[in-house]
């Protein structure tokens, strides 16, 4: 059985991430979406909220895809988490050339740290290539409509009044 890890901040998960998840689920027997708990970043959504949104987004996917998906939060190094869950692959999406340099650096570094874990890149679907969680957070902060950028579960939470 091949297991892959799709790590990220997912603050919030976007339709671009979901496109990568759906396609990666067709390549591996088990795909674990790993939500990084990063104490150095102040997130818009808490880890619990991000996990709930991801769970609700999974529920909207075709059953055969859902059966291969899991979501889990983690802290520390991505490769350590990959080892803990028995993942031989890390999945990352590439939207544009601008993503390439930092992703290349991360893939090489992860491979230095864990020779047995390989990174697999998928090109994010063209219609989502402009999307980023950072932009979604900014639009939501100014009360803009993000419903065509994120799954409904995330859009509902982002439309709620900002917590003090
Ligand atoms: O969604 P993001 O923010 O682009 O995801 C970045 C992420 C979480 C994959 C990356 O920051 C990461 O792997 N962080 C965990 C710490 C780690 O392993 N650092 C070394 C990577 S070279």
End-to-end CA separation in angstroms for the chain: 45
Can 128 be counted among the known catalytic residues? no
- CATH number attached to the domain at 3-159: 3.40.50.620
Share of the chain above pLDDT 90, in %: 93
Q: What strand order describes the sheet that includes 69-74?
A: 69-74, 30-36, 3-8, 89-94, 118-123
What pLDDT digit, counting tens, does each position of 67-113 carry?
A: 999 999 999 999 999 999 999 999 999 999 999 999 999 999 999 99
Q: Are 122 and 21 in contact (CB under 8 A)?
A: no
List 9, 17, 92, 128, catalytic entry: 17
Share of the chain above pLDDT 70, in %: 98
* Residue 77 Cβ contacting ligand 1 at under 6 Å: yes
The active-site residue, picked from 9, 92, 133, 157, is 133
Domain boundaries, the chain: 3-159
Compute, in angstroms, the gap from residue 7 CA to the centroid of ligand 1: 7
State mean pLDDT over 17-31: 98
Predicted pLDDT at 143? 93
């Amino acid at each position: 059985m091949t297991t892959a890890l799709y790590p990220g901040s997912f603050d919030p998960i976007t339709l671009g991430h979901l496109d990568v998840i759906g396609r990666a689920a067709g390549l591996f027997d088990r795909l674990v979406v790993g939500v990084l708990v990063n104490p150095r970043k102040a997130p818009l959504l808490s880890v619990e909220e991000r996990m709930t949104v991801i769970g609700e987004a999974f529920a909207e996917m075709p059953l055969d895809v859902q059966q291969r998906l899991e979501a889990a939060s983690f802290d520390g190094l991505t490769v350590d988490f990959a080892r803990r869950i028995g993942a031989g692959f890390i999945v990352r999406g590439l939207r544009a050339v601008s993503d390439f340099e930092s992703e290349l650096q991360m893939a090489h570094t992860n491979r230095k740290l864990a020779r047995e874990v390989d990174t697999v890149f998928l090109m994010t679907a063209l219609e989502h290539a402009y999307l980023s969680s950072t932009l979604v957070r900014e639009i939501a902060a100014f009360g803009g409509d993000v419903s065509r950028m994120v799954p409904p579960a995330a859009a509902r939470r982002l439309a709620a009044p900002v917590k003090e």
